Amino acid sequence: MKKQQVAVGIAVVLGLGGVVYAQQSEFQEKLQEDLDGYKTQIIDNCGSPKTLTLKWNGKLAVNPRESEKPDWNAVSTLCTSALEGTVNACQSNKPVKAAIGKVTTITCTAGKGTIGYKLAGNALTFTVDPSFTKNNAAGQRDDLVTTMKKNIDK
């Protein structure tokens, strides 16, 4: 009887693991779809190569299109706000456009605080924090644009 209980317990754990994996895969696909929606804009406005890759680095605890409170802090909203800010910066600043034009990979990942970025060679990484509530996604995007222009246009 005890062996059967252990076997059932193991089966339940394995079954739940499969559900969690499937859910993670679904979350990743949703976020990838949202990121890919900006690929053409970045290529067209920043001069990035057509082989540009956009991706999320990390696990997603919840649906990336949803958030707790406030509702504007979903991972997808923050990542796409960073991409939108990048397009805006490229359109209004030649040095930013030149720098982003060399980028072949843009990654969005978890971080702390307002939307941050790191430009290293041909890689651009954005950090987003869904728990940061001192500024909404549009305000964070605008701050990002200002910071990118200041730091890249020296």
CA distance 127 to 103: 17
Q: Rounded to two decimals, what is the model's pTM?
A: 0.84
* Distance separating alpha carbons of residues 138 and 152, to the nearest angstrom: 21
User: Which residue positions in the chain have pLDDT lower than 50?
Assistant: 7-9, 11-19
Each residue of 61-76: pLDDT tens digit? 888 988 766 666 899 9
Are the C-beta atoms of residues 110 and 61 closer than 8 Å to each other? no
